[in-house]
Amino acid sequence: MPNMETTEPGARKVLPIIYVLDTSGSMEGNPIGALNQAMNETIPILREVESENASAEIKIGALAFSSGVRWISNGLEYIDDFIWNDVKAGGLTELGAALNELNSKMSRSEIFQSDTGFKLPVLLFMSDGVPTDDWEAALDAANIQNKWFLNSTKIAIALGQKADRSVLTKVVDNNPEAVILVNNLETLKTLIKVMSATASKIGSVSKVNTGTSMATQIVENTRKQMGGDTGDAGVQNPAPPVPTPAATGKSQSGWDDDDWN
Amino acid sequence: MLLEKGQKIKTIDGETIEVDQYLAGGGQGDVYRVSFRGEQKALKWYTCKFRDEKGFYDNLKSNMDSGSPAREFLWPLAVTEKCLGSFGYVMDLIPAGYYKVDEYALAKVKFSSFKSAVEACIQINSAFRTLHLAGYAYQDINGGNFIVDPVKGNVLICDNDNVAPDGVSTGIVGTPGYMAPEVFSGRNLPNKRSDQFSMAVMFFMLLCANHPLEGRRWQRITCMTDADEMRLYGTDPLFIYDPEDCSNEPVVEIHKNVLKRWGFLPQYMKDIFIKAFSRQSLENPSRRVSEIDWLQALCRFRSDIVRCKNPNCSNEIFINGAATTKCDCCGTPYPVANRVRLPLYEIPVVSGARIYRCQLGTCNLKDALNPVAAIVSKGDALGIKNKSGLIWAALTPSGKSKRVEPEEVIPIKPGITFKIEDYNLEII
Ligand SMILES: Nc1ncnc2c1ncn2[C@@H]1O[C@H](COP(=O)(O)OP(=O)(O)OP(=O)(O)O)[C@@H](O)[C@H]1O
Ligand SMILES: [Zn+2]
């Protein structure tokens, strides 16, 4: 019998969590400071979750958009390798550029390479403003062309009253419940941490019997945990539902998946 | 809200719990070290509002009232009154040196021997047998709630707040990876039959260190959609060693542990896994392998595991067919000169082995793990010691009858037969 010492970690799927963050000019000053601090504090939390998650190996991506886009991570990185380099704010709010970048990089030949395969990626969007480019065309293209993007679990944080919640709602598969509005920076910091931890555990912790989407579950769990600590003041309920169906055509893929780009 | 050191909370019976220190946070609550009835205990304090839902608090109280079904369970000892917008319960502290099954799955902790992994399975199994006979179902077996000591294989089971009478739902449906197909696919709520499935998954994870349903089919899924998960764990699950369908077999580069270990397992262990994850058993909850069948196989397995006699090796060897077996590491034979024929199978006569009541045949739950006999040695000579507390009737090879009193030893001589209760055993 082989020695128990030779036991290797069991095989896990990779769970990609990709932050898509608005670093436009309006984020200058305190907001970007809060974002940097939140991301710095999120990493050790995710490391801890990762070290106990027997069903998924977490990998992190971070994409900043302003006038154009910039990857803060080197594609997808192991959480142990990932270092958050503080970002500066400045420029426009080119959400469309970010969606185009996701469309081109969310692919087996780009960032999604693994022997064991992936869990559905989680895309966490954060914006405090209104896009300045043709985000709608970019969103449609991504949803039509990119199965990874289409099937991702998408959640969004709308920071402040100037954030365009209807845009974010459309980005997150027309699911108004997947958008959380935050009005103060302290709450933003907690929210990013709690939401990241919740998202990184989804699919590996005890499930309650509900028929809701992953995105909604993440947001609901996040709200529950925030409710305990910070009061509900800063985190408001979702905007009234937009009567559009959630993205249709989500994947029914077979065992082989040769159609994943 | 965090509780503070020195803070006092009352139980529903008016006893005082004093908070000492925050220990850890979980999905539904935080855990503190507290003093209670003059001892250090753990307090689980719910932070999550949904825990206040229908019946949860009452179920917790009724679990506390009925008392712990078996020592393995870190059972609610006292429930607090509702205060500070929440509530909680007191249980024993997890002692040092115990680790979650998930940590074994991640190879952060390793058993010090295969035998201790088997011991852990035996303890989990007997705990569940007791729980189920008491009319409960656990409902959420997972790698985070089972904690095991890697040296002895002792087991503790926490998160007993979801334990409920079999058939009663607490809202939790389980943890992916451990959920029975009928629960995963939403056809059924968790019950004792789904517990039996989850338990088999845990045994496989502990003994083979990979997941029983995650083979090639799992590996070939580039991105696991909900539909893929549904097929893999719900509507079309397939064991990685299904004898009739190899489409989900382990993949060399990825499922290394199970590929290394499976070949070494005795046939009866392979058989019981194949049965536990057969199509019939996956599809039909009433075809699950029962706790007593597991117990018999696991106890037999435990007595088949020995250490190589070569002092430079001391590798663990699984005795094959109750006969002399060569060490797979250094080639030194482990001598088995004799066997004891039990009603259902033979076991090797090796020093230190025990025969448990459940290995003889059907028995009461409380007796299942009582040793009835032990193989003892004096110098080079081996014998069978009567540990049953009963008098045995023995016959020598020449046909003379003898009484074997409790604690008396029968020498190992082929041809001796003896009777324990109504079961005939023979030394061969
Ligand atoms: N009796 C105990 N003694 C010491 N520590 C404990 C005890 N029970 C739980 N803990 C610690 O507290 C943590 C959280 O406990 P538990 O798993 O019960 O919470 P939970 O809310 O159900 O979390 P999850 O849903 O994430 O499993 C555990 O990971 C463990 O480290
Ligand atoms: Zn050897």
> How many degrees, rounded to 5, is the angle at CA B46 between CA B44 and CA B49?
170
Q: What residues contact B379, with CB distance under 8 A and at least 6 apart?
A: none
**Residue B59: pLDDT band by 50, 70, 90 thresholds?**
confident
For B47, the closest of A119, A228, A260 (CB atoms) is: A228
Query: A24-248: what CATH class?
Result: alpha beta
Mean pLDDT within B205-210: 97
DSSP B176-202: TTTS-HHHHTTSS---HHHHHHHHHHH
Q: Residues B8-91: name the CATH superfamily.
A: Phosphorylase Kinase; domain 1 (3.30.200.20)
Average model confidence (pLDDT) across chain A: 86
The residue to mutate among B19, B158, B162, B175, having the most atoms of ligand 1 within 8 angstroms of its beta carbon, is: B158
Q: Is the pLDDT of residue A230 over 70?
A: no
Q: Which fold has domain B338-428?
A: Tumour Suppressor Smad4 (2.60.200)
Closest approach atom of ligand 1 to CA A201:
26
Q: What DSSP letter does each residue of B310-359 carry, written as one string?
A: -TTT--EEE-BTTB-EE-TTT--EE----EEE-SS-EEE--TT-EEEGGG
Token readout for B177 is: 């990876």
* Per-position DSSP letters for A198-242, written without gaps between them: HHHHTTTSPEES----HHHHHHHHHHHHHHHHH-SSSEEPPPPPP
- Nearest residue on chain B to A224, alpha-carbon basis: B48
Q: Enter the ipTM.
A: 0.86
Please check whether residue B93 is in contact with residue B41, taking contact to mean a CB–CB distance below 8 angstroms. yes
Residues in contact with B327: Cβ distance below 8 Å, sequence separation at least 6, in sequence order: B308, B310, B313, B315, B317, B333, B334
Nearest to A112 by CA among B256, B221, B253: B221
CATH of the domain spanning B99-296: 1.10.510.10
User: How far is B332 from B6, CA to CA, in rounded Å?
Assistant: 61
CB pairs under 8 A between A and B: 161
Q: Would you mind telling me the total number of residues written for chain A in this entry?
A: 261
Are B316 and A1 a contacting pair at CB < 8 A? yes
Residues in chain B within 8 Å Cβ distance of A228: 1, 47-49
> What pTM was estimated for this model as a whole?
0.91
Q: Is the pLDDT of residue A259 over 90?
A: no
Please state the rounded mean pLDDT for residues B148-157: 96
Where on the phi/psi map is residue B179: left (φ > 0), alpha (ψ -120 to 50), or beta?
beta
Q: Is A3 on the interface with B (CB under 8 A)?
A: yes
Spatial neighbors of B334 by CB under 8 A, at least 6 apart, are B306, B308, B309, B317, B319, B324, B325, B326, B327, B350
**Sign of the CA dihedral with B170 first, then B172, B178, and B182 last:** positive
Tokens coding A217: 């579950």
Residues A175/A215, Cβ–Cβ less than 8 Å: yes
Helix H or strand E segment including B386:
strand B381-386
Q: Which of B302, B111, B289 is nearest to B206 (CA)?
A: B111
The answer to whether the beta carbons of residues B69 and B164 sit under 8 Å apart is: no
Domain ranges within chain B, ordered by starting residue: 8-91, 99-296, 338-428
**What's residue A243's pLDDT?**
40
Q: Is the pLDDT of residue A258 over 60?
A: no
Question: Distance (Å, rounded) from C-alpha A85 to C-alpha A65?
Answer: 15
pLDDT at A254: 40
The region that residue B260 occupies, defined by phi over 0 for left and psi between -120 and 50 for alpha, beta otherwise, is: alpha
CB contact under 8 A, A253 and B228: yes
pLDDT over threshold 80, residue B51: no
Structure confidence at residue B49 (pLDDT): 59
Where along chain A do its domains lie? Answer: 24-248
